[in-house]
C-alpha cells in the first residue's frame, strides 16, 4: 500500500529538474548595458567597436564585455555610473546615424541560453523600463482629411462634368476656382448633396467664380478623435509585434498617448519602431518631362522631384496609386530571382481596384515605390533638449510594370533583411492616422525599483520562513516534507514565469505571497485527515491512504474556485490586476502538483510498504 509506480517518480523528478533549470537564470541578475543600433546608412562592425573601445579607454570607463548581436552592438558595464557616462560618450562620438539606448542585459550563462532559459521580466515598478509620452499631430490629421477631400472632389466634379480651373489647399480649407458662376453653382449643389459635413462659402472678390470648402466643427472634432483612437490601436499593434509583455498604452488628454514598456529588452528597437511613421506610396513615374529641367527648377505641375537611394533623380506624379493605409498585410522575405530583401504586400479592396485599374493602362511603363518617414532630432540648446522634426522621402524602387496585378505584389529595393522586417512590421500594424512625436522619453532604471524589490523579496522570505517553521513544529517530519514541497512550489512558479516570459510586478509578488500561504492549505487538510484516521484506530498505512483520498475533493473544490476567480481577474482586469492574476493562477496549479503528488511521492518513498506502529505527524 502507498507505493507509486516507477513512471510517476520519474515524471516528478523530470518536472522538478526542468523547473530548477528554467528558474536558474533568475539567480544571475542583469548587467547595466548600452544598446547601439545602426541606422539605414550605418553599420556596427569591427571599426565601430575599435573606435568605441578607444574612446572608452581614453575616458577611463571600464567595460565588462562588448558583443555584436542581431539587434546591434551591446556593451555591458559593471555599474550604472559607467553605463550613463558611456551612453553620453557614444551619442557624441557616433552622431545621429546611430540609436543609443540604455538597457539591462541578462547575464545568463551560454549553456542556459542554449536551452532558451531566460529570466522573467520585471515590471516598471521593480526593474524599470521605458516610458514614452507621445503627441499626435492633430493639424496633420486635419490636413490629411482636407487632402482626401481634395482628391474626392476632383473625381466628383470630373464625373459630373463640372468645369473648374483649380483646387488649392489653403491652410485647412479648399479653394475651388470654377470657369463660370453657373459651374460654381452647379458644383456647390453637387458637393452639398454628396458631403453634408462640409461648409461651403461662395467668394466674389475679383478672383472669378470661387468656392471655399471647409470642414464643419463637428467633422473636425470627429477626425481628431478618430486619429487619436487609430494611433492608439496602431501603437498597440506595434507593441504586440515587439513581443512586450503587459504593456500600458492609454490616452492622456485630447491628443497625447502614454506608452509604458515594462521589462523591455531592446529599448533601441522599441524607440525606433514606436517613433517611426514610415509608410509607402506607389506612384507613377512622369516620363513626359525632362528630369534635368526639373532639377534646374522647372518642375511641371502635377509632379514632384524625388531622389532614390543611389542618388538618381526621378519625376513622380503627385497622385498616389495606393498608400500605406490601404495595406492589410505585409511580410518580409527574399525575392526568388536575386535573393534580395523584399516585402510582399496585400492591399484592401479599394487599393486593389485602383492598382488593377492603373496596371491595366500602364503595362510597360515605370512605377515607383516612395518611402516616407518622419524623423526627429534632439539637440541640446542652453542646457535644454530641443526636438526638431523633418520628413524623409526617398524612392526605394522603380520598376517596369510587366503585367496586370491588383491586390498582391512584391516591393524590392530594400537595403537589408532587417529593414525589410521592420518595414513589414510597420505596414502590417497599420498606418498612423496622423504623425506622432515623442515629447517625453524616460528610461526608468532599476535603482528606482530597488526598494520595492527588496521589500517584495523580504515579504516572500518572511512569509515563507514563518510557514516553514510552523509546519515543521506542528507536523514534525510530515511538516518538513510539506516544507520541501513548498520550496519546490516556489521554484516551479518562478520557472513558469520565466518560461512564459511574464512580467513580474508588485501585485505579482503579492500573488506569490498569497500562494505561499495557500500552498500549505492542502497539506494541512491532508495531515489533519491522517491524524483523524489515526485517532479512529486505523493503521498508519490506511490513514495515509485515507488522508490523501478523502481530502482530495475538498482541496480540488477550493483550488478550482480560486482559479476561476483568478481567470476572471485576468479577463476583465488590466495592468497590475492581470499581473496578480497570473502569479496566483500559476501558484494554484503548481501547489496542486507539489502538495498532492510531490508530498505523496516522498511519503510513499519513506513510509510506503513498511510495517509502522506510529506516524510522525
Give 476-519 pLDDT, tens digit per residue: 888 888 888 888 988 999 999 889 877 777 788 888 888 877 78
Averaging pLDDT over each range in 372-376, 434-438, 526-530, which range is the top one? Answer: 526-530
Dihedral pair phi/psi, residue 262, rounded to 5°:
-70, 140
Q: Which residues contact 390 (CB under 8 A, 6 or more apart)?
A: 374, 375, 377
pLDDT of 285 higher than 80: yes
Q: Which residues contact 297 (CB under 8 A, 6 or more apart)?
A: none
- Residue 374's pLDDT is 63
Could you state, in order of their start, the residue ranges of all structural domains in the chain? 6-24+448-607, 30-106, 139-220, 278-412
* Cell 479599394 belongs to residue: 350
Q: Which residues contact 75 (CB under 8 A, 6 or more apart)?
A: 33, 34, 36, 52, 63, 65, 66, 86
Query: What is the number of other CB atoms lying within 10 angstroms of the CB of residue 408?
Result: 12
- Residue 426's pLDDT is 58
Question: For residue 93, what is its C-alpha cell?
Answer: 562620438
CB 475 within 8 A of CB 531: no
- What number is the average pLDDT over the span 583-612? 86
Q: pLDDT tens digits, residue range 291-312?
A: 888 888 888 888 889 988 778 8
Fold of 6-24+448-607: Multidrug efflux transporter AcrB transmembrane fold (1.20.1640)
139-220 maps to which CATH number? 3.30.70
> 370 - beta bridge partners?
281, 395
Chain centre distance of CA 381: 32
Q: Which residues contact 232 (CB under 8 A, 6 or more apart)?
A: 249, 250, 251, 257
- What number is the average pLDDT over the span 375-394? 67
- Residue 380's pLDDT is 65
> 74 - beta bridge partners?
35, 67
DSSP state of 364: T
- Residue 16's pLDDT is 92
Question: For residue 5, what is its C-alpha cell?
Answer: 509506480
Dihedral pair phi/psi, residue 30, rounded to 5°:
-135, 155
- Residue 18's pLDDT is 93
**How far is 276 from 259, CA to CA, in rounded Å?**
14
CB 270 within 8 A of CB 238: no
Query: Dihedral of CA 96/102/103/109: which sign?
Result: positive
- What number is the average pLDDT over the span 386-392? 67
Say what percent of the chain tops pLDDT 70: 84
Q: Which CATH architecture has domain 30-106?
A: 2-Layer Sandwich (3.30)
Among 242, 433, 431, 397, smallest CA distance to 329 is for 431
30-106 and 139-220 have identical folds: yes
For residue 243, name the pLDDT band (cuts at 50, 70, 90). very low
Secondary structure of residue 301 in the 3-state scheme: coil
Q: pLDDT tens digits, residue range 150-195?
A: 877 887 888 888 888 888 888 888 888 888 888 888 888 888 888 8
Return the axis-axis angle of helices 576-592 and 450-500, rounded to nearest 10°. Answer: 60
Strands across the sheet with 341-347, in order?
A: 327-334, 341-347, 408-411
First-residue to last-residue Cα distance in the chain: 18
Beta strands of 348-472 (E only): which ranges? Answer: 366-381, 384-400, 408-411, 436-444
Query: What is the number of other CB atoms lying within 10 angstroms of the CB of residue 307?
Result: 13
Q: Name the region of 399 (left: φ>0; alpha: ψ -120 to 50; beta: rest).
A: beta
- Residue 21's pLDDT is 93
CATH 2.40.128 is held by the domain 278-412: no
CB 87 within 8 A of CB 468: no
Question: For residue 565, what is its C-alpha cell?
Answer: 476567480
- Residue 13's pLDDT is 92
Secondary structure of residue 124 in the 3-state scheme: coil
Global pTM?
Answer: 0.57
Question: For residue 397, what is its C-alpha cell?
Answer: 524602387
Amino acid at each position: 500500500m502507498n507505493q507509486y509506480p516507477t513512471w510517476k517518480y520519474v515524471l516528478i523528478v523530470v518536472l522538478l529538474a526542468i523547473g530548477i533549470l528554467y528558474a536558474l537564470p533568475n539567480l544571475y541578475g542583469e548587467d547595466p548595458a548600452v544598446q547601439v543600433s545602426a541606422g539605414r546608412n550605418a553599420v556596427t562592425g569591427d571599426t565601430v567597436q575599435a573606435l568605441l573601445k578607444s574612446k572608452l579607454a581614453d575616458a577611463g570607463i571600464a567595460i565588462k564585455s562588448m558583443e555584436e548581436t542581431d539587434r546591434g552592438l551591446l556593451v555591458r558595464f559593471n555599474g550604472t555610473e559607467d553605463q550613463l557616462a558611456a551612453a553620453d560618450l557614444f551619442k557624441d562620438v557616433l552622431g545621429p546615424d546611430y540609436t543609443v539606448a540604455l538597457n539591462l542585459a541578462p547575464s545568463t550563462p551560454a549553456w542556459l541560453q542554449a536551452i532558451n532559459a531566460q529570466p522573467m521580466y520585471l515590471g516598471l515598478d521593480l526593474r524599470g523600463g521605458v516610458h514614452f509620452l507621445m503627441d499626435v499631430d492633430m493639424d496633420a490629421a486635419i490636413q490629411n482629411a482636407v487632402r482626401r477631400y481634395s482628391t474626392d472632389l476632383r473625381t466628383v466634379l470630373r464625373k459630373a462634368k463640372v468645369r473648374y480651373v483649380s483646387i488649392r489647399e489653403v491652410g485647412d480649407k479648399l479653394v475651388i476656382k470654377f470657369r463660370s458662376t453657373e459651374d460654381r453653382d452647379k458644383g456647390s449643389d453637387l458637393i452639398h448633396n454628396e458631403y453634408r459635413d462640409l461648409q461651403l462659402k461662395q467668394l466674389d472678390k475679383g478672383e472669378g467664380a470661387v468656392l471655399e470648402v471647409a470642414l464643419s466643427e463637428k467633422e473636425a472634432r470627429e477626425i481628431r478623435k478618430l486619429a487619436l483612437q487609430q494611433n492608439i490601436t496602431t501603437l498597440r499593434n506595434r507593441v504586440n509585434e515587439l513581443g512586450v509583455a503587459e504593456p500600458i498604452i492609454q490616452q492622456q488628454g485630447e491628443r497625447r498617448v502614454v506608452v509604458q514598456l515594462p521589462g523591455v529588452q531592446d529599448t533601441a528597437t522599441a524607440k525606433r519602431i514606436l517613433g517611426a511613421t514610415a509608410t509607402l506610396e506607389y506612384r507613377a513615374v512622369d516620363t513626359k518631362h525632362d528630369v534635368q529641367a526639373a532639377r534646374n527648377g522647372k518642375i511641371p505641375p502635377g509632379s514632384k522631384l524625388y531622389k532614390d537611394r543611389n542618388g538618381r533623380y526621378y519625376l513622380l506624379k503627385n497622385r498616389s496609386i495606393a498608400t500605406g493605409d490601404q495595406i492589410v498585410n505585409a511580410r518580409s522575405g527574399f525575392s526568388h530571382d536575386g535573393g534580395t530583401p523584399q516585402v510582399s504586400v496585400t492591399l484592401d479592396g479599394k487599393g486593389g481596384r485602383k492598382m488593377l485599374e492603373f496596371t491595366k493602362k500602364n503595362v510597360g511603363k515605370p512605377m515607383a515605390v516612395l518611402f516616407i518617414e518622419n524623423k526627429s532630432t534632439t539637440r541640446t540648446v542652453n542646457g535644454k533638449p530641443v526636438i526638431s522634426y523633418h520628413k524623409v522621402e526617398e524612392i526605394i524602387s522603380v520598376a517596369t510594370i510587366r503585367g496586370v496585378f491588383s491586390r498582391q505584389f512584391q516591393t524590392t529595393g530594400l537595403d537589408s533583411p532587417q529593414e525589410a522586417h521592420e518595414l513589414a512590421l510597420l505596414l502590417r500594424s497599420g498606418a498612423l492616422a496622423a504623425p506622432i512625436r515623442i515629447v517625453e522619453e524616460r528610461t526608468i532604471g532599476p535603482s528606482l525599483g530597488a526598494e520595492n524589490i527588496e521589500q517584495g523579496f523580504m515579504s516572500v522570505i518572511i512569509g515563507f520562513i514563518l510557514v516553514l517553521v510552523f509546519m515543521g513544529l506542528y507536523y514534525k517530519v510530515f511538516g518538513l516534507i510539506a516544507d520541501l514541497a513548498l520550496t519546490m512550489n516556489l521554484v516551479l512558479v518562478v520557472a513558469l514565469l520565466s518560461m512564459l516570459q511574464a512580467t513580474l510586478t508588485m501585485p505579482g509578488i503579492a500573488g506569490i505571497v498569497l500562494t505561499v500561504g495557500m500552498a500549505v492549505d492542502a497539506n494541512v487538510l491532508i495531515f489533519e485527515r491522517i491524524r483523524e484516521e489515526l485517532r479512529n484506530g486505523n493503521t498508519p498505512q490506511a490513514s495515509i491512504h485515507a488522508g490523501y483520498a478523502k481530502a482530495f475533493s475538498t482541496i480540488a473544490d477550493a483550488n478550482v474556485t480560486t482559479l476561476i476567480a483568478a481567470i476572471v481577474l485576468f479577463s476583465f482586469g488590466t495592468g497590475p490586476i492581470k499581473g496578480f492574476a497570473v502569479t496566483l493562477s500559476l501558484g494554484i496549479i503548481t501547489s496542486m502538483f507539489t502538495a498532492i503528488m510531490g508530498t505523496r511521492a516522498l511519503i510513499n518513498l519513506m513510509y510506503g510498504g513498511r510495517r509502522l506502529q506510529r506516524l510522525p505527524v
